[in-house]
Chains A and B, each alone.
Chain A
Amino acid sequence: MITSLPKLLSATVITLKLLSLSLFFGLFIGLLFAILRLNKNIFVNKFAYGYSYVFRGTPLLVQIFIIYFGLGQIEYFRSTFLWVVFKEPYWCAIIAFALNTGAYTSEILRSAFQTIKPGIIEAGKSLGISNKVIFYKIQIPVAIRQSLPAYGNEIILMMKGTSLASTVTLMDLTGVAKYIISTTFKPIEVFIVAGGIYLFMTFIIHNLIKFLEKKYSFN
């Protein structure tokens, strides 16, 4: 049980890398699509809705497999410079995670934007603040504060989602755990250690979000 700990800890680094990179890109994708969702143009709106519907309605495993196994099949695609990125399982996993978490994040941010009291925006307008400044300095900060609890859940879900990277040959925490289980046949011990590491990360994220919520609360 103890002997597997160093291996699992070094695999945790990969899990954390996958998590942070996909959250980073996912946040931008989410913000972009949340803004598109609020657009009045029906086509733009429908497109953004379709994106989030498809990515939330299908399992993450399918998404990874389409990106990792599927895209390589297109001849033309392999000749473009994008192939440098898409031939690596590491980047494929991050792209799939980022697109997935982006869809959920866009929903979270959209509902946060929609629940902003119109009075706040009107107050900004009557003070003569330009629309751009209202958006960046008022709407975005308020929306971020409102979406913190839901986003915290999304981070934890994404952390669990990174375990799927092990299905495309990456040796993340779950991948290494599976390898150790299948070589030592000690599933319960390895599960306790690996699960403990995941739980610890959940605990840290949970408390970090709680701290941020308190810090940015309005009262």
Chain B
Amino acid sequence: MELLAFGKTGWGDELFIATLMTIAVSITAMLIGFLFALIFTPLKLSKNKFLNLIGNSYTTVIRGVPELLVIYLFFFGGSGAVMFVASMFGYNEYIEINAFITGSFAIGIISGAYSTEVFRGAIQSIDKGQFEASQVLGLKRVVYFFRVIMPQMLRLAIPNLSNVWQITLKDTSLISVTGLVEIMRQSYIAAGSTRDPLFFYSFAAVLYLSLTFLSMKLINRLEIKYSRGF
């Protein structure tokens, strides 16, 4: 227990901050994922073959390639890509991107592919009559999307989105290879300096388990809220 003490003697405060970091990265990645899903779900549902192809290749490639490889691509290629864009605007200095941004972007793209599939499935399982009825009633597109389709879609999507959240949360452990100090990286540092890897990695496992457990409890509440009336 001494090892987990707060302050200079133990690793308690470091691990606590690292846990907050894991939560922050997971939430950012999940939101970035939603952004990607917002772009790619319409593409996947589109009748245009070319747009369809773009949507499908995004989800197929990302879901078929290991997460670690995607992270390496961003880690090694990220700053290069940004510098390339910057050089087009005449800026030729070295740019280093923060590990938090690269990490949450890489995980966000992965999580986005899963979210896209979830949203596609949810929209497709909404009764067609709902779309037709809104058109007949002359609702504006924005209104009918946000007030008619969205609430029904969310009810169907939440259980699957909770899976996506679990995957995203667990994937953030992989960002530790880029040096971002989240739970896994902090345990690695602590294990290295105390020579007690068994304890620290087991503790990391406990932290992840409690994060997944707590988020399940929260999501269950959301599920109840959105399935009112069904």
In the A-B complex, the 5 residue pairs with the smallest Cβ-Cβ separation, listed nearest first, are A163-B66, A187-B77, A70-B198, A59-B173, A202-B64
Are A160 and B198 closer than 8 Å at their CB atoms?
no
Question: How many residues of chain B have a CB within 8 Å of chain A?
Answer: 37
Provided the pairs A70-B197, A156-B64, A191-B77 are in contact, do residues A61 and B176 lie with their beta carbons within 8 angstroms? Answer: yes
Q: How far is the CA of A203 from the CA of B65 in the complex (A)?
A: 11
Is B12 part of the binding interface, using a Cβ–Cβ cutoff of 8 Å?
A: no
Are B65 and A59 closer than 8 Å at their CB atoms?
no
Q: How close is B89's CB to chain A, nearest CB, in angstroms?
A: 21
Q: How far is the CA of A67 from the CA of B38 in the complex (A)?
A: 40
The one of A63, A74, A163, A185 that contacts B69, using a Cβ cutoff of 8 Å: A163
The one of A58, A73, A164 that contacts B197, using a Cβ cutoff of 8 Å: A73
Are B170 and A58 closer than 8 Å at their CB atoms?
yes
Number of contact residues on A: which range applies? 35 or more
Which of A22-30, A79-87, A139-147, A175-183 participates in binding chain B?
A175-183
The one of A57, A159, A191, A202 that contacts B208, using a Cβ cutoff of 8 Å: A57
Provided the pairs A61-B184, A62-B173, A62-B208 are in contact, do residues A181 and B61 lie with their beta carbons within 8 angstroms? Answer: no
Q: Which of B171, B196, B201 has the most CB of A within 10 A?
A: B201
Are A181 and B76 closer than 8 Å at their CB atoms?
yes
16 inter-chain pairs at a CB distance below 8 angstroms, sorted by A residue, are: A57-B209, A58-B205, A58-B212, A62-B204, A65-B187, A65-B201, A65-B204, A66-B202, A71-B198, A73-B198, A160-B67, A174-B68, A185-B80, A191-B73, A195-B61, A198-B66
Q: How far is the CA of A63 from the CA of B187 in the complex (A)?
A: 13
Q: Which of A59, A182, A188 has the most CB of B within 10 A?
A: A59
Q: How close is A78's CB to chain B, nearest CB, in angstroms?
A: 12
Is A194 part of the binding interface, using a Cβ–Cβ cutoff of 8 Å?
A: yes
Is A208 part of the binding interface, using a Cβ–Cβ cutoff of 8 Å?
A: no
